[in-house]
Structure 1
Amino acid sequence: MPLTKLHMVNFEEHQDTTLEFAPGITVIYGTTDQGKSSIRRAITWVACNRPVGPRSVRDNTKESEVTLSFDNSPSVTRGRKNDKNYYKIRDSKVDGTGVNIFKAFSTKVPDEVNAIVNLNEANIQEQFKKYYLLQDTPGQVAKTIHTLLGMDLVDTTATVVNRAIKQQAETITKAEITIAGIKKEIQKFAYLKAIEEEYRNLELAIQSCSKIEADIHNLTTTVEKCRILHKKILATQIPPSVEAEARNLQEELIAMEKKKDQIDKLSEGTSRLQEVDDEISKLEAWLTVERGARSIQKEAADIYSQEVRLHQLETTLAKIRTIDGNMSKVDQDRRANEKALEALKKKIKICPTCKKPF
């Protein structure tokens, strides 16, 4: 955005100076020590936050401000008051409330200010500085172009990222050290597991003791009741007839118990006889099965003998068939020889007198 006005208050030699810039190129001239260079330094102070100390404040004052106004953009004010630096962005389109104040920004320029001013040290030619880019080394030229194109943001970002990574690594290292220390502290309390196990065992033992105490209490109550009942029985007067009848009943009960024992023994004998009878039945069944098995075994042996005999007969029959085949062949050969002999006889003439062929 074009710079339209510069307002300086207590900045170096300027107590209260306002400059308005027309479109195009503006030339400022005058005699020495009249504040021409201060104008450039005022613009640098706002755009680049240089210098950061109190040297820009006019002597015998505590506050200094420089305001840059732009066409169709908010104005930017850089100030210093009581050794505190600040920036102000004032939007004239917003009445009263359109002011943003920035503090504690160190040597950097707030991004909001950069977005409006859009100037840096590469855009400003100092009084005793070499001609812009003409007398710089190739490295300096490349660095300046790098800055103009905004590529220095990559370096700045890389620096910030590396710093963050380093801080994060330090944080992780500290955390690991802390975790290791905590683990060591936890190991000191490893015995708590054994104590917990003992505590559980004690709880079980206490529960068992409580149950035993309850059983003892019940037994004590029962014994006490028995004692009371025994005392009542002893205190009760039993008639002689009842006592005699009770004795008779007791004797009968003893006799019945003896008979019961005899009956139980007889029952055991009967059960044993039944078991023996069952064993005999099992033996008879086994003998029957064994006889059947022996009969089947004998039949199997007979069948096997017959199979062996049949196999022998089949072998003999095969031999006979072989001999018969051989005899048939011999007979065929004999017949062929006889036919050949007859044919030979027909061909040879025999003398009737001497019986010799001729």
Structure 2
Amino acid sequence: MGFIKKLKINNFQSHKNTEITFDEGLTVILGPTDQGKSAIIRALKWVLYNEPRGTDFISVGSNLCRVTLEMDDGTVITRERTNNKNRYILIKNGKKQIFEGFGNVVPVEITKAHGIPKIYLDKDSTCTVNLAEQLDGPFLLSENAGVRARVLGRLIGIHIIDAAQRLTINDLSNAEQQSKTIKSEIEEINLKLKEYEDLPLLKQKIDTLQSIVKELKEKNLLYKKLTTIKDTFSSCNAEIKTLQATLKKLETVSQAEFLVEKIDFAMKVKTNLIDRKLRLKSIENEINKEQNNIEKTEKLEEASSYHNQAYEFYLRLKKLLAAKEIIVKMDSEISTFKKVLEKTRNLNHTVSLVNQLERSCEKLSELKKAKEMKSKVESQINRLNLELEKFKSIEKLDDFINEASSLNQKLSSLISYKHALNEVEASITKGQAFIMQNNKDLTSLASKYAELLRKLSKCPTCMNSIDDARADQIAAEILKSGG
């Protein structure tokens, strides 16, 4: 156990700021009355044991009370209290810990740090052997004999023996009480058991009866099973006889089933051929429409040649119109020169006029040639106009050409339709032959089926009786519905 090395008191009762250094061993505080000796002990108890409680020990005029202990190993324990704060601060090995909300007890870490706990004399009394106040007597001398005995006993471990003795006495007392209770219960049970002394004999009888009952149950179950098997066997024999008779009557049913399957296949083929026939009719209608369109476009090649010839005439006409414009300009120049010649006819033959006249003569010769060309062009224009009158509807040729191209596409599709039509016609021819053969087979199968029904005299599905008239009626319905 260590010892307190230093004590610091701040604002605790009469101590504003007090610091006391202790030596190792016993410390006695001496001094006049009312000088704060008891306050030092109270401050120590407040830090070590959380006593007293409350805030009455805070010095008047202060809000904070603090007491600090410094132990010989360097551990520092500080207790702080304000009106709204109550905590321990532990600094050990350079690590700081704060404890709050500990209530009326001292944190275990604080008690372990200072090593000065209270000594418990028994479960109801404690003793602070390390502190003594001013009016306290010497340790144990002021206590009564019982307390001194308990303390001395604790010092040498007698309290453990006393506790063990008390527990042993209690256990013995409880055991004796339980023993008496158990003995009385045993006596009562023995009295009740006398009523069941014949239980072994009864058990033997019960075991014998149980074995007999078990054997009876097994034999009863076996009897029920045998009865059920017998009934099942009888019904199976009767059913076997019935089935054998039915099988004799239905020896030809497999052949009838084959015929029915064949009839079903024939009906499917017939339905397929009917669909193809309807498609063929629609294709024939399309072919008729396209043939009408082809008849309308028979002269398409002639119209195309007319279009090409008209386009050539148009190009030639365009050239002639350009030449005509040149000739018109030349005519205007010729008329101008004629006027000049008339004005200069009576003038002297000067050099300038001669030169001008020579140039005019040259132009005149050129103009004559142009006039001749003009006459030729006009004749060609007239001839082209006559040709153009024949092609007044040339503007509609583009529409005809577009229509012709679309008709050409339709013609290609008609050719493909024609090939498809030929294939369909071939398929129809084969299908018609197949239908005729199937109709013959169907008639034969229906008659055979009616003959089978007459022989069986019963329906193979519902097992109702069938006479000859009903068999003929069924065959007629098969032929009417096509199978």
Fold-level similarity (TM above 0.5)? no
* TM-score, with structure 2 as normaliser: 0.32
Larger radius of gyration: 2
* TM-score, with structure 1 as normaliser: 0.41
Q: Which has a greater percent of helix?
A: 2
